[in-house]
């Protein structure tokens, strides 16, 4: 089946640093979504992308829909402690399995000790 490869699996941040993560697939997707999950909570939608090449921001977060439609990127600028959590990418291929979202395995952001 379709899979999304999300990297890195985990990373440590220091307050003020910029953070980058990405999601790749061997399949084409028509929609890319980025979610954040805080500890003990469900994922919350951060950004939705609907067109190849699209660049969308939500505060300090910026996401891009890759031009090949097989990847997406999320950047967080000037990170703060409340950015810790798990970030999931999700893709939708209208021709895929009943149009359900496919989720990556997540990138876990933690604070540097």
Partner 1 sequence: NAGVTQTPKFRVLKTGQSMTLLCAQDMNHEYMYWYRQDPGMGLRLIHYSVGEGTTAKGEVPDGYNVSRLKKQNFLLGLESAAPSQTSVYFCASSSSGGALRGYTFGSGTRLTVV
Question: Phi and psi for 82 in degrees, rounded to 5?
Answer: -75, 0
In the bound state with partner 1, the residue whose beta carbon lies nearer, of 31 and 79, is 31
Among 31, 64, 72, 79, binds partner 1 (CB under 8 A): 31
Q: Does 85 bind partner 1 (CB under 8 A)?
A: no
Assign residue 98 a region (left: φ > 0; alpha: ψ between -120 and 50; beta: otherwise): left
Residues 6+ apart with CB under 8 A from 92: 29, 30, 31, 32, 33, 99, 100, 101, 102
In the bound state with partner 1, the residue whose beta carbon lies nearer, of 66 and 106, is 106
Q: Does 41 bind partner 1 (CB under 8 A)?
A: yes
Residues at the site binding partner 1, with contacts judged by CB under 8 A:
1, 6, 9, 31, 33, 35, 40-45, 48, 88, 90, 92, 98-101, 103-106
């Amino acid at each position: 089946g379709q899979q999304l490869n999300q990297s890195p699996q985990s990373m440590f941040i220091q307050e003020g640093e910029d953070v980058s993560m990405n999601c790749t697939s061997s399949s084409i997707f028509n929609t890319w979504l980025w979610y954040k999950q805080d500890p003990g909570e469900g994922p919350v939608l951060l950004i939705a992308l609907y067109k190849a090449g699209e660049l969308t921001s939500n505060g300090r977060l910026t996401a891009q829909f890759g031009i090949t439609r097989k990847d997406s990127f999320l950047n967080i600028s000037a990170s703060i402690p409340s950015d810790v959590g798990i970030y999931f990418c999700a893709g939708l291929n209208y021709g895929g399995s009943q149009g359900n979202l496919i989720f990556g395995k997540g990138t876990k952001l933690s604070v540097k000790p």
